[in-house]
Structure 1
Amino acid sequence: MKIRIKGDSIRFRLTQTEVQALSNNGKIYDSTNFGTTKFSYGVVLTSEAENLSIKHENNSIVLEMPEANGKSWFSNDIITFDHTIKTTSGNDLYLLLEKDFTCLDNTIEDQSDNYPNPKLS
């Protein structure tokens, strides 16, 4: 799972195995260890959510996804889910959850579990 945070937008990208785990188990987590501090992030399915939403607390970011969408995501052709939320400070926060495609250019990261890039066909 990858996260990209830029300004008031947060993008989560999941590999095929991660999308399948999310669909089957209802949650997926990862973390980055900064030595004395660990930053955790994940995606969870919830029956209460109507759209994507996000929680940030205790060195953790968790993206919440509507359970109905997430349970079938692995077996369908939907690529992305997105939603913009209004924060308590009044700004718009854009949330994006997407399947991770292989890159078109050369990269050193392992892409063997990424979705085939449709631009390569």
Structure 2
Amino acid sequence: MKLRFEENSIRLRLSESEVAQFAQSGRVSVVVPLGPTEHDNLTYALERSESEEFRITHGAGAITVKVPAVLATNWTSTDQNGLSATLMMAGSQPLKVIVEKDLDCKH
């Protein structure tokens, strides 16, 4: 899974196997070591949620994008390529959240 930050946006791109894992388990994650101990890792994840809205949680070296279950099921079971939402953050700043299938990805 690829994570990309740009000004006021976060994008996750999942390979075909990651989309299948997400469909089956409701979660897919990647751990990036950023230092000599496990406490220095950055974990980013996509998670199915019972909430009716997109959400992002973060803290203690983890970022999780939570997608409503209904949208997640539809996305994983059809040829729909992406999901997106704009969340309002602190100071009325919009954050665009994009989740996409990266089906041409071979790694």
Same fold (TM over 0.5): yes
Deviation string for 1:1-52 (max 9, x for gaps)? Answer: 001001110000001111111111011111100123100000000111x232
TM-score by length of 1: 0.79
Matched, 1:38 2:45: no
1:54–1:64 contact (8 Å) kept in structure 2: yes
Higher RCO (C-alpha 8 Å, min separation 6): 2
Task: Detail structure 1 runs of 4+ shifted over 4 Å in the superposition.
Answer: none
State the distance in 1 between where 2:74 and 2:84 align.
16
Partner of 2:3 in structure 1?
A: 3
State the distance in 2 between where 1:90 and 1:74 align.
31
Bigger radius of gyration among the two: 1
TM-score by length of 2: 0.89
1:21-60 paired onto structure 2 within 5 Å: 21-36=21-36, 37-48=40-51, 50-60=52-62
Structure 2, gaps ≥5 residues long: none
Which residue identity lines up with residue 15 of structure 1 in the other structure?
S
State the distance in 2 between where 1:22 and 1:28 align.
5
Which residue identity lines up with residue 69 of structure 1 in the other structure?
L
Task: For residue 22 of structure 1, give the secondary structure of its aligned residue in structure 2.
Answer: helix
1:22–1:71 contact (8 Å) kept in structure 2: no
Structure 1, gaps ≥5 residues long: 103-110, 114-121
Which residue identity lines up with residue 79 of structure 1 in the other structure?
N
State the distance in 2 between where 1:85 and 1:46 align.
16
If each structure's strand is expressed as a fraction of its own residues, which one has the higher value? 2
CA shift at 1:70, angstroms?
A: 1.5
1:53-68 paired onto structure 2 within 5 Å: 53-68=55-70
Partner of 1:116 in structure 2?
A: none
Matched, 1:112 2:106: yes
